[in-house]
Structure 1
């Protein structure tokens, strides 16, 4: 199973969140450092479109592990909330296309 690990201890604001995501997910250099771009990069993980280093097989799921999520929640609760919302939105988009969900969020 594919896993992307974010370190919640190192995320203190939106800039550090997007910087870590760009590195961990392998987003392209033109990544926009906002949640619209984040959703765009992770919406088509089965298409091998170059928007992420992860390319999923038909029924594979990418687990996003947020380690030290308690520290992230204390420092930036809005980031945790938006992350949960965007993961759900991407998975709902998959359902709309009658495809299995592509993301699982694990707050550790």
Structure 2
């Protein structure tokens, strides 16, 4: 796996799940009809390897990966930290289910 793109998510101003969803939608370029819930986030991020679906403006190849660098992780509310970990874990699980390598690498910083 090679990192093809890096996205930086700064959690310093994210205090709740709704603001997390809004920031992820901006960073990844989710479509306007994005449902603002955990399932919708998973579906959209899963689309990084499927540009034809139009679920995200960030795209990588079928064998590449995306590094999600998260700043100020340790200071974020527990619910925000748990939600991010769950989202990425499930996205990568879906890729493994399709017999593909995980697509998202997490880089957590203070």
Q: Same fold (TM over 0.5)?
A: yes
5+ residue gaps, structure 2: none
Matches within 5 A, 1:37-56: 37-48=40-51, 49-56=53-60
Please report the RMSD computed on the Cα atoms of aligned residues, expressed in angstroms.
1.1
Q: Which has the higher strand share?
A: 2
> Do 2:49 and 2:59's aligned partners in 1 also have CA atoms closer than 8 Å?
yes
Could you tell me how far apart the structure 2 residues matched to 1:11 and 1:69 are? 10
Identify the residue that residue 63 of structure 2 maps to in structure 1.
59
SS of the equivalent of 2:34 reads coil
TM-score (norm 1): 0.90
Say how many residue pairs are matched: 105
TM-score (norm 2): 0.88
**Dislocated runs of 4+, deviation >3 Å:** none
Matches within 5 A, 1:1-108: 1-48=4-51, 49-72=53-76, 76-108=77-109
> Do 2:47 and 2:56's aligned partners in 1 also have CA atoms closer than 8 Å?
no
5+ residue gaps, structure 1: none
